[in-house]
Every structure is written in C-alpha cells, then in structure tokens.
C-alpha cells in the first residue's frame, strides 16, 4: 500500500469525529431519561419475553463474539505489509474439518434456540389465559383514528386513551379496530398484538405492581399515528373500586352518537364515560357483516354524529373530518372474516 496524500489529515478528522460521536453517545446514554421498558418488565408475560431476550442474546453471542474476534485477528495478521512473516498459502481453499465445524456450530446453536423458542411460543401465546387464583378482568379495546377506546363490560364504563386495571389480576384484553389496523403495545406488561377490523384478538397480561405504564399504538395507521399513546394505570383492588365508583358518578354516559363522533378521525384527550351502549364491541367486530353497523338497513340510527363532546380536535384532524365517516356509511357493508386471526 502506498502512502496516500492527505492521509494524516484524514486520520485526525476520523479520530476527532469518532471521539466526538462517542462522547455524544455517552452523554445521550446518561442524559436520556428514557426507561428501557422492554428490559424492565412489570408483569409475567413481559418478564417471560425479557427472559427470552436475554437467553437468545447469550446464545447468539456464543457464536458472534468469537467470530468478531477472529475476524479482527485475521484481518490484522494477514494484511499486506512489506516483510510480513505470517504464512501465505494461496491454495488453502478447502478443509473438510474446518467446514464441518462451521456448519456444525451454527446448527447446534440454532437447534437449541429453536427448542427454547418453541417452548416459549406456546407458553407466551397471547390468547392463552394466565394462571391465577383470581378471575380475569375483561377489557375491550378499540383502536380508532387516532385514539384508543377502552370498554369495561363488567363495570359498564368506558375510557379513552387511558385504562385502569386492578393489579395482580389477569386482564383479558379483547381487541378490534374501527379504523385502519393498529397494534396494541404496553411494553412493560406484554408484547403487542394487532387490532384489526372485523375480528377480535385476545391478549392476556397482568401488572404485578401498581403504577402507570406506557402504552402506544405500534402499527402505522395514518396521519396522527404518533398521538396514539395511552396510559395503563394499575391500582390496588380498593383503589380500583373507588375509581370505578368515581367514573360511575362523575362522568357522562357514552351514547351511540358519542361513539360516532369519537370515531371521526382526529386526536383526543383522556376521557371517561359512566356507561356505554350494550354490546358495542361485538357490533363493531361484526360491523361489516350483513346486517352489521355499516349495513344500509341500520344506518338510520346513527347518521347524525354529535360534536359537542369534550374532544379536542387538532386542526389537521378537523380537515379530514367527515370524508372518512361518510365513506364508511356509504358502502354497503357486508361480511368479513370474524374468526380470530385466521390468516393462515
């Protein structure tokens, strides 16, 4: 290799840029107040997933780390330099033993990882009920443009962009969408699951400790997707009862009209409702079936959305209003798949 002009300047610049970048990264690591949610689970499902992440990282590291070290050694040792003494063997291009080793090691590691993965896949299957002495609490979730609506059928209350659950109790989330597909993710409690129109998905999770947990929509669903955040408040049983009573006594009921105006594309603040229309969730799941909400014959009951609720629309959201809901109603909504995730 010949001496390149300007290579000293380059060395300095590269060094300085690298050091500055590293310094910036170190600063960011300590300045950032972000919580590594996935690595700080607060419920059994998320804990299982964290464990699996750790196990799989270690297993892959068994191969990756030595390989990286070997790579550096080889590249360093055999670089072309005058007077290089390392062995040079241009015809060394085949060796059964070596090749068997590096077909063999990945096969063994992947085999172990596959066994672990399959066991966890069944253990953490989101639609399987959690083992607990307590009866699970069912919460129904609907993703809208661009907000989350939670129905609590046992207490007959509803909330928007926030859900309160009792701690140490399995929660059975039933999820659907009345808008483009989204994904329901509370990283500290459980991994995500898609919400899709025309079908109900099931996701079990449980919070082992009281607290407010970060939740968000994870699958892109249009303009204000970034605003689809929600809180999961896990509280003690007593606080849970008190909260339910408070909502019951202090909030307004959700009527069909209220829901219709919530469904208009736009963002929304946290809200709560003392009741919600009977079977609304099932009606939304079967919306596009013959006779469903989107069908012509049912239309008369919900063609006049009220806009007086305490929804704070962003300006951009307003501009989209109307067009989407209109097209919803104009279609002769008919049947769609209602089995849970029967895509395969």
Partner 1 sequence: MAQAVSQNDHGHHDHGHHDPQELKMLGFWIFLITDVVLFGTLFATYVVLHNNTAGGPSAHEVFEMPGVIAETFILLTSSFTSGLAVLAMNKGNVKQLIAWLIVTFILGAAFIGLEVQEFVHLVHEGFNFGTSAFSTSFFTLVGTHGLHVSMGLGWMILLIIQLSRRGINDVTRGKVNVISLYWHFLDAVWIFLLSVVYLMGVM
Partner 2 sequence: MLENIKEFASEFFVTGDPLIYGADVSIALVTIAIVAGLTYFKKWKWLWRNWLTTVDHKKIGIMYILAAIIMMFRGGVDALMMRTQLAIPNFEFLHPEHYNQVFTTHGVVMILFMAMPFMFGLFNVVVPLQIGARDVAFPFLNSLSFWLFFLGAMLFNLSFVIGGSPDAGWLSYPPLSELQFNPGPGQNFYIWGIQISGIGSLATGINFLVTIIKMRAPGMTMMKMPMFTWSVFATCVIIIFAFPILTVTLALLFLDRFGGGHFFTLDGGGNPMMYINLIWMWGHPEVYIVILPAFGIFSEIVSVFSRKKLFGYTSMVFAMMIIAFVSFFTWAHHFFTMGSGADVNAFFAISTMLIAIPTGVKIFNWLFTMYRGRIRFDLPMLWTVAFIPAFIVGGMTGVLLAVAPADFQYHNSYFLIAHFHQVLIGGVVFGYFAGMYYWWPKMFGFKLNETLGRWSFWFWNIGFYVCFMPQYLLGLMGMTRRVSTFDWDTGWGPLNVVSTVGAYLMGIAFVFQAIQIAYSFKYREKDTTGDIWDAHTLEWTIPSPAPEYNFAITPVVDSRDPLWVEKQRRAAGKLPKKDAKPKYEPIHMPSNSGIPIVFSTFFFIAGFGFTFHWVWMAVLGLAGVLACMVVRSMNDDEGFYIPAEEVEKTEASLRGTL
Site for partner 2 in 172-231 (CB under 8 A): 179-181, 183, 185, 187, 190-194, 196-198, 201-202, 214, 216-226, 229
- Token code pair at residue 315: 């300006």
In the complex, minimum distance from the CB of residue 44 to partner 2, in angstroms, rounded to a whole number: 13
Residue 167: what are its φ and ψ, rounded to 5°?
Answer: -75, 160
Binding to partner 2 (CB under 8 A) within 280-309 occurs at 287-288, 294
Q: Of 192, 264, 183, nearest to 221 (Cα)?
A: 183
Beta-bridged to residue 240, according to DSSP, are none
CB of 333 to partner 2, least distance (A): 4
337 belongs to the binding site for partner 2 (CB under 8 A): yes
**Pattern 235-274, partner 1, x by CB under 8 A:** ----------------------------------------
CB of 138 to partner 2, least distance (A): 17
Kindly determine how many residues on this chain lie close enough to bind partner 2 according to the rule CB under 8 A. Answer: 126
Beta strands in 103-247 (DSSP E): 137-144, 147-152, 157-160, 162-166, 171-177, 182-186, 190-195, 201-205, 211-217, 229-235
Q: How far is CA 4 from CA 11, 14, 116, in A?
A: 11, 15, 52
CA angle (196 as vertex; 323, 35 as ends), nearest 5: 105
Q: Does 99 bind partner 2 (CB under 8 A)?
A: yes
Q: How far apart are CA 100 and CA 105, in angstroms?
A: 9
Query: Binding residue for partner 1 (CB under 8 A) from 57, 290, 319, 340?
Result: 290
Alpha carbons 143 and 192: distance in angstroms, whole number: 13
Nearer to partner 2, 236 or 322 (CB): 322
- The stretch among 166-174, 239-247, 301-309, 333-341 that binds partner 2 (CB under 8 A) is 333-341
Q: Tell me if residue 210 falls in helix, strand or coil.
A: coil
Q: Pseudo-torsion of CA 40, 43, 47, 50, nearest 10°?
A: -50
* 18 part of the interface to partner 2, by CB under 8 A: yes
- Residue 249 interacting partner from partner 2, partner 1, none (CB closer than 5 to 8 Å by kind): none
337 lines the binding site for partner 1 (CB under 8 A): yes
Give how far the C-alpha of residue 124 lies from the chain's centroid of Cα atoms, to the nearest Å: 15
Smaller CB distance to partner 1: residue 160 or 284?
Answer: 284
Q: 273 — phi, psi (to 5°)?
A: -135, 140
For the bound state, the minimum distance from the C-beta of residue 194 to partner 2, rounded and expressed in Å, comes to 5
Q: Is 14 in the site for partner 2 (CB under 8 A)?
A: yes
Tell me which stretch binds partner 1 (CB under 8 A): 38-46, 59-67, 83-91, 330-338: 330-338
Task: Using CB under 8 A, list all residues that contact partner 1.
Answer: 290, 334-337
């Amino acid at each position: 290799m010949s001496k390149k002009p300007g290579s000293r300047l380059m060395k300095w610049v590269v060094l300085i840029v690298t050091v500055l970048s590293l310094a910036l990264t170190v600063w960011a690591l300590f300045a950032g107040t972000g919580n590594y949610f996935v690595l700080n689970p607060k419920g059994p499902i998320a804990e299982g997933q964290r464990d699996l992440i750790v196990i799989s990282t270690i297993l892959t590291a068994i191969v990756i780390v030595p390989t990286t070290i070997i790579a550096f050694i080889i590249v360093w040792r055999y670089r072309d330099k005058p007077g290089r003494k390392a062995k040079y063997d241009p015809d060394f291009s085949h060796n059964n033993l070596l090749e068997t080793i590096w077909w063999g090691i990945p096969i063994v590691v992947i085999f172990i990882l596959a066994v672990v993965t399959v066991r966890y896949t069944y253990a953490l299957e989101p639609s399987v009920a959690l083992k607990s002495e307590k009866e699970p609490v069912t919460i129904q979730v609907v993703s809208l443009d661009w907000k989350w609506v939670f129905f609590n059928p046992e207490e007959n209350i509803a909330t928007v962009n926030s859900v309160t659950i009792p701690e140490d109790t399995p929660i059975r989330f039933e999820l659907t969408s009345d808008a483009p597909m989204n994904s329901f993710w509370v990283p500290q409690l459980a991994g995500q699951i898609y919400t899709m129109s025309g079908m109900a998905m099931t996701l079990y999770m449980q919070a082992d400790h009281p607290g407010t947990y970060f939740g968000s929509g994870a699958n892109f669903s249009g303009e204000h997707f970034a605003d689809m955040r929600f809180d999961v408040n896990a509280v003690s049983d007593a606080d849970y009862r008190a909260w339910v009573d408070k909502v019951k006594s202090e909030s307004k009921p959700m009527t069909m009209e209220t829901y219709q105006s919530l469904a208009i594309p736009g963002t929304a603040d946290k809200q709560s409702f003392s009741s919600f229309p009977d079977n609304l969730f099932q009606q939304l799941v079967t919306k596009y079936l013959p006779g469903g909400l989107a069908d012509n014959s049912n239309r008369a009951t919900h063609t006049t959305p009220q806009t007086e609720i305490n929804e704070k629309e962003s300006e951009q959201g307003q501009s989209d209003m109307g067009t989407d809901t209109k097209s919803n109603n104009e279609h002769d909504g008919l049947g769609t798949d209602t089995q849970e995730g029967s895509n395969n």
